[in-house]
Structure 1
Amino acid sequence: MGKLRTGVKSHLVGCLEELVPSQTSASASAADVIVLDGAAVVNMLQPGLAKRFDDYATAVFLSHIRTHLQQARQCNLSLSLQLDALTCLLLCSCVLPSHQTLLKAHTLQTITCMNTLLKSCRDKNPLASPNPSKQVLKRVCARYRRGAAPPVTLASPAHVSRLFVEERHHLLYCEIPKAGCTNWKRLLMVLSGRAPSTTAVLHTAAHYANGLRRLDSYPRHEIERRLRTYTKVLFVREPLERLVSAFRDKLQRPNPYYGPLYGRAILARYRNNASRSALHSGTGVTFREFLRFLLDPHRPLAPDVHWEPAARLCHPCYITYDFIGHFEALASEADAFLAALGIPPTLRFPPKEHDVTEAVRTEAMHLSKDKGSFDISRQYFSRLLQHERQLAYDLYYLDYIMFNYSKPFSDVH
C-alpha cells in the first residue's frame, strides 16, 4: 500500500480485498468460531441510503449480523457498556430457534436486564417461538418419510422452482398462487430495491416484470447454501377455498389464456354435445366439469400451479421452512414475520389488491356481501354429490393434514 490515504476506516476493507485472494463460498474454509466486534462492524459497514439510526441498524447492521448467525448453533453476547438501542437489536438478532444464547456482562444488573430482554424477544419473534404449523408438519413428514429428516443437500432443482430469492435480506419465499402471492411479489420488489413502494407495482408487473430470481436459476452449490442459510417462508390457504378461488378467477370469469387453453379442453372432454360457440371460446365451464378434469388421471393438459396442491409446489418435507403463515390471517402474520426480520415498520404487507378491474371488484363485492370467502366456496361444493366432495378432499388431503386445516365438510373422512 505504502501511501498515505484519506478517507474513512471502512475504505480499508477495499484495500484488504485487493491483497487477500478471494475464496468462493464453496471452497471457503469452515470456521468453528466467528468473532464479531460491534464497533468494528459499524465502522466497516457504510450507511448507504440509510438516513436514520433505525434504518441503518435494520437494513445494514443487523442484515450483516444475521448472515453470520444463520449457521450458528450458539450466540455469545458480551457487553461492557450499558444497554442501548443497538445492543437491544443485536440481542434480538441472536434469538433464533437453533441458538443457545449465552450472555456475559460485568454487572448483575446488566445480566438481569439482558435476560428479561431476551425473553421478550423470544416471545415476540415468530421465527424463534414454536410454530404450531411447523410442529404438525414435522410429524406428518416423519410419518410419510418413515421418520427420516429433511435432506441436507438438494434432492432436485424442481423442489425449489417456486422459491423466489430476495438477496438483501437473505429471504426465500415459496409462491403458492391464490394465497396472496401477488402482494408478496410486490413486497419482495420493494425489499430488493426494484420498486419504491408496493402501491407502485401493478398486478401485471408483479408477475411478469418483477426482476426477481427463482432459486433454481442458481448453480447447485449456491442453491444448497441459500437453503441452509436464508430465511424461508411459506404462506398457505385453506385448500378447497383456494381451489374455488382459482376456478372463479381462471375459468368462471373470462380469461384470455385459461379459457382458450383449459376451457376448450375441459368442455371437449367432459361435456356431451357442447355447443360450437362454447368449444370456440372455452367459456361456461361448470365447477363439476372442472373437478372431473382435476380428478382424471388421463386429463388432456398438465396440472397448473393455480390448483396444484401446496405440498407439491413447495415440498415442505424436503425444505425446512422457518415460518409457515396462513392466508386467513395474512396481514397480521406477514407483518409479524417482517418485524422479526428487522424490516422497518414503514414497510408492511399490502392490505389488498389495488389495481384489479372494476368489473372484478364489483363481482367480488356482490358475491362476498355478508359472506366469508369460505362460505362462498361451500356454495360451490354444496352442488356436488357426497362422493365428489370426498374425492376433492382426497386430492388435497396432504395439504389439510400438513398445514393443520380442519375437514371442510362433515361427510368426508
Structure 2
Amino acid sequence: MTKLKMFRFFLILGSLFMILLIIFYWDDVGAAQLYFHSVSSKQQSLSHFASLSAAEQTFHGSNIKTFMSGVDEFTDKIFSKVLVQNQTVNKNDNQRTPQLSNKQASGQLEEIIRGYDWATRSTRINMDYMKLQNERKQMLHSLCRNSTLQFSGKNRSFEDIPNKELDHLIVDDRHGIIYCYVPKVACTNWKRILIVLSQSVQNNGKPYSNPLDIPRENVHNTSSHFTFNKFWKRYGKFSKHLMKIKLKKYTKFLFTRDPFVRLISAFRSKFELENEGFYKEFGMQILKLYSNVTEPPASVSEAFATGNKPSFNAFVQYLLDPETERRVPFNEHWRQVYRLCHPCQINYDFIGKLETLTEDAEYLLQLLNLENKVQFPPSYRNRTASSWEEDWFAKIPIEWRRKLYRLYEPDFLLFGYPKPESLLQD
C-alpha cells in the first residue's frame, strides 16, 4: 500500500470515527434518549428500514465528498433504528395541567398588563387540520418557486445563510424538534415548552415540568436554548452538514402573525411600556431623527413623565428610512419573518398562526405525541386585534402605508395574509 493510499485510508477512518462520536453522543445525550416525532415518520410504516450494510458500503471512496454522501445514508439508517426503539416512549406520562404560581401571579409588567386567558379550551379538533396544514405549506412552496415574487435572500441555498442569521432556530434533540421563534408571535410560551422538553434549565437541581413556572428572564436567556448559530463552536466544519441532517429528520415548525398587527404589537410592547433598553437603543434615536427632539430625555421614566416618547408615526418613519438598516439590521421584534426563519430554504412541517393559536398548538402537540407530557400555557388575551389597524394607521400618510406594505409584502404573501386593501387605498 502506497503512502498516499494509507493516508487516504486513515483520513477516512478518522473522519468516520468523528462522525460516529457525534452521532452516538449527540449534544451530550445518548442515542437511546433521542425521540423523533416528525409528521412524516408517523405516517409511514417502519417495516421498510433496511440493515446498515448498504450505508456502510458507501464509505469506500477516494475523496471526502463521496465519504460524506455515505455518512448521510448511514445516519439515516441509525436514526431510523433509534425511532423504532423509542416509538413507545412517553405513552404513559401523566398529563400536567399548568397552575399559576404566586410568583407568576405578580409577574412582569408586560404580563400583568396583558393578563392570562384561562378560558376552558375544547379538547376536540373541529377542523380538518391536516388539510389546512397542506394548504399553508403548498401556498408557501408555490410562492418560493414563483419567480415573480422576489425578496432578499430568496434564491440563496441553505449553505449560503450566515450562522448569525440562524439564531432563531431552536433545536430540541431529545424529541427531534426544531422551532423557529418569531417575536410577538407567542414565542415566550413556545420557548417555555422547549425548555420543559429539552430540560435545559434547572430549578433547584430539577428540570421544570410546568412551563409557567419558568421565570421570564430564563425564557429569553440565550443560554437556555441550543440554536443553529451555536453549531459552529460545537461542531466546527461539520456544523452545516449536521444542521441539514437535523432539518431532514426533525419536525420543524414556526408560528406567524398578520405583519401589520405584529408591528403594532411590537410598538406597544417596546415603546408604550417603560422599557429602558429599547428606549436607549431605539427610542432616543427615533425621537432625534423623526420627532425633532434635539435632546431626548436621558431615561425612559423621564420620557414617560414628560410625554416625550416615540409615536407610532415616528416608528413607521424609522422602519421606512433606508438609512436604518444601513446602520444596523432590523431588531428581531420588527424584522420580517422570512428573514428570521428562511421559509424558502427550510421545508417546515407545520405552520401555525397566532390567529388560531389555541387550536394550532393543540394539534401540533398531538402530532408530536407530546399532548400528555406538556400543555401549551394559556394564551395572552390578544389586545392587539386586527380590527385596530385602521385606528393605528389613521394618522399615517397613505404613501407611507404603501411603502410599509411593500416592506412586509413577502410575509403577507408567503403566510397567506390578505392584503390590507382598506389601508392602502385613497
Query: What band does the TM-score fall into relative to the shorter chain?
Result: 0.5 to 0.7
Residues matched between the structures, number:
305
Alignment of 1:169-180 (within 5 A): 169-180=175-186
The CA deviation at 1:277 is 4.9
Residue type at the aligned position of 1:135: Q
**Kindly tell me: are residues 166 and 179 of structure 1, through their superposed partners in 2, closer, same or farther at Cα, counting changes over 3 Å?**
same
The CA deviation at 1:290 is 0.5
User: Aligned residue for 1:134?
Assistant: 137
The CA deviation at 1:160 is 2.5
Rg larger in structure: 1
Percent identity over the alignment is 28
- Is the Cα contact below 8 Å between 2:279 and 2:299 reproduced in 1? no
- Is the Cα contact below 8 Å between 2:171 and 2:179 reproduced in 1? yes
Indicate yes or no: 2:409 matched with 1:397: yes
Give, in whole Å, the separation in 2 of the partners of 1:160 and 1:187: 20
- Is the Cα contact below 8 Å between 2:259 and 2:412 reproduced in 1? yes
**Kindly tell me: are residues 230 and 397 of structure 1, through their superposed partners in 2, closer, same or farther at Cα, counting changes over 3 Å?**
same
Q: Deviations over 1:225-270 (max 9, x none)?
A: 1111111101001000000000111112211101011011111111
1:176 is paired with a residue of what secondary structure?
Answer: coil
Which of 228, 232, 240 matches 2:248?
228
2:171 is paired with a residue of what secondary structure?
Answer: strand
User: Aligned residue for 2:160?
Assistant: 155
Give, in whole Å, the separation in 1 of the partners of 2:297 and 2:291: 10
Higher relative contact order (CA 8 A, sep 6+): 2
5+ long unaligned stretches in structure 2: 1-15, 24-30, 50-83, 89-125, 202-207, 232-238
Indicate yes or no: 2:322 matched with 1:297: yes
**Kindly tell me: are residues 248 and 68 of structure 1, through their superposed partners in 2, closer, same or farther at Cα, counting changes over 3 Å?**
closer
Which of 241, 260, 279 matches 1:259?
279
Give, in whole Å, the separation in 1 of the partners of 2:351 and 2:39: 23
Indicate yes or no: 2:364 matched with 1:345: no
Q: Deviations over 1:312-337 (max 9, x none)?
A: 11110011111111011112101101
The TM-score normalised by the length of structure 2 is 0.63
**Kindly tell me: are residues 150 and 166 of structure 1, through their superposed partners in 2, closer, same or farther at Cα, counting changes over 3 Å?**
farther
Q: Deviations over 1:31-73 (max 9, x none)?
A: xxxxxxxxxxxxxx98xxxxxxxxxxxxx79x36x58975998
2:358 is paired with a residue of what secondary structure?
Answer: helix
**Kindly tell me: are residues 400 and 159 of structure 1, through their superposed partners in 2, closer, same or farther at Cα, counting changes over 3 Å?**
same
- Is the Cα contact below 8 Å between 2:133 and 2:351 reproduced in 1? no
Give, in whole Å, the separation in 1 of the partners of 2:148 and 2:167: 22
Q: Deviations over 1:248-304 (max 9, x none)?
A: 1111221110101101111111122x2635466465101111111111111254310
1:24 is paired with a residue of what secondary structure?
Answer: helix
User: Aligned residue for 1:191?
Assistant: 197
The TM-score normalised by the length of structure 1 is 0.64
Alignment of 1:234-313 (within 5 A): 234-272=254-292, 274=293, 276-278=295-297, 281=300, 283-299=308-324, 300-313=327-340
- Is the Cα contact below 8 Å between 2:362 and 2:371 reproduced in 1? no
Give, in whole Å, the separation in 2 of the partners of 1:264 and 1:129: 44
1:235 is paired with a residue of what secondary structure?
Answer: strand
Give, in whole Å, the separation in 2 of the partners of 1:68 and 1:397: 29
Q: Deviations over 1:326-351 (max 9, x none)?
A: 01111210110111111143522111
1:276 is paired with a residue of what secondary structure?
Answer: coil
User: Aligned residue for 1:324?
Assistant: 351
Q: Which has the higher helix share?
A: 2
2:287 is paired with a residue of what secondary structure?
Answer: helix
Give, in whole Å, the separation in 2 of the partners of 1:265 and 1:146: 33
**Kindly tell me: are residues 298 and 23 of structure 1, through their superposed partners in 2, closer, same or farther at Cα, counting changes over 3 Å?**
closer
**Kindly tell me: are residues 72 and 333 of structure 1, through their superposed partners in 2, closer, same or farther at Cα, counting changes over 3 Å?**
closer
Alignment of 1:94-173 (within 5 A): 131-144=134-147, 154-156=159-161, 157-173=163-179
Indicate yes or no: 2:36 matched with 1:24: no
Residue type at the aligned position of 1:276: E
- Is the Cα contact below 8 Å between 2:39 and 2:368 reproduced in 1? no
- Is the Cα contact below 8 Å between 1:262 and 1:301 reproduced in 2? no
Give, in whole Å, the separation in 2 of the partners of 1:67 and 1:406: 30
User: Aligned residue for 1:16?
Assistant: none
- Is the Cα contact below 8 Å between 2:158 and 2:345 reproduced in 1? no
Residue type at the aligned position of 1:265: Q
User: Aligned residue for 1:102?
Assistant: none
The CA deviation at 1:162 is 1.1
- The two structures, once aligned, show a CA RMSD in angstroms of 3.8
- Is the Cα contact below 8 Å between 2:38 and 2:368 reproduced in 1? no
**Kindly tell me: are residues 286 and 151 of structure 1, through their superposed partners in 2, closer, same or farther at Cα, counting changes over 3 Å?**
closer
Q: Deviations over 1:78-101 (max 9, x none)?
A: 9xxxxxxxx9x969xxxxxxxxxx
Residue type at the aligned position of 1:155: D
Residue type at the aligned position of 2:408: Y
Residue type at the aligned position of 1:215: F
User: Aligned residue for 1:204?
Assistant: 217
5+ long unaligned stretches in structure 1: 1-20, 29-44, 47-59, 79-86, 92-122, 354-363
2:255 is paired with a residue of what secondary structure?
Answer: strand
